[in-house]
Amino acid sequence: MSTSTTSRPEIDVVSLNAELEGLDAGQRVALLAERFAGRVLATTSFGLQAAVMLKLLKDHAPAIPVVFIDTGYLFADTYRYGARLEEELGFRARVYQPNITAARQEALHGQQWEEGLEGREQYALIHKIEPMNRALQELGADVWISGLRRSQSSTRSGRAIVERQSRTLKIYPIIDWDDGQVERYMREKALPRHPLAAAGYVTMGDWHSTTPGKKSASESTRFNGEKYECGLHLDSGDQDFQI
């Protein structure tokens, strides 16, 4: 059941950023779980480095609900990897899907991801943004934890730990981790790897919009190199969330 946000106090983004800057990732997650209990959720894509945030949540904030947006077009290996992480880390993601099946979407609208910028934005709205809005509403959340990192792409290089997207506060506990830190954490915690990491993938999304590529050119492996953000983590000026 959703919780009304009308009586919730306004969050000072500048002060929260300053407070989180002085903490490590685990401390950040623990603080968010305590301060925003009942109004915070986390998301996972079950992507290449998803295990890092999921392990941090497991160890420091196991009560925070984890949302998985299932577009219907993910790699089979991604679904299997997600099931393995759930089993090994002992949690169950709350799955949100589009209100239209993949078969019906293609029958009525075609393969929108091949129809230029307008088609891709409409695809993102139907398959990612609307389900995410629904998750925020149903879980009564206005604080959203994500595993974005600055080093992943140029669109993320200038992001702060905390930012506001419409009425939703987005917080990135590992935003300042580089690839080396991620790799060390994966090894230290013996976290399982996404099967497609060994196949040359350096980023992960829908099968129709993601290709293998070099780490130094990861932005060219998404959407034919024309954009990097998947629709949930929006570029400046893109369609915003409703809540």
The pair of structure tokens assigned to 97 is: 């899907």
Q: CA-to-CA distance for 84 and 78, rounded, in angstroms?
A: 10
Active-site residue set? 230
8 Å CB contact between 56 and 173: yes
CA dihedral 97, 103, 105, 109 (to 10 degrees): 160
- CA–CA distances in Å: residue 226 to residues 101, 148, 211, 223: 26, 19, 13, 6
DSSP letter string, 125-168: IIIIIHHHHHHHHHTT-SEEE----GGG-TTTTT--SEEEETTE
Q: CA-to-CA distance for 67 and 70, rounded, in angstroms?
A: 9
Q: CA-to-CA distance for 14 and 226, rounded, in angstroms?
A: 32
The position carrying tokens 């910028």 is 117
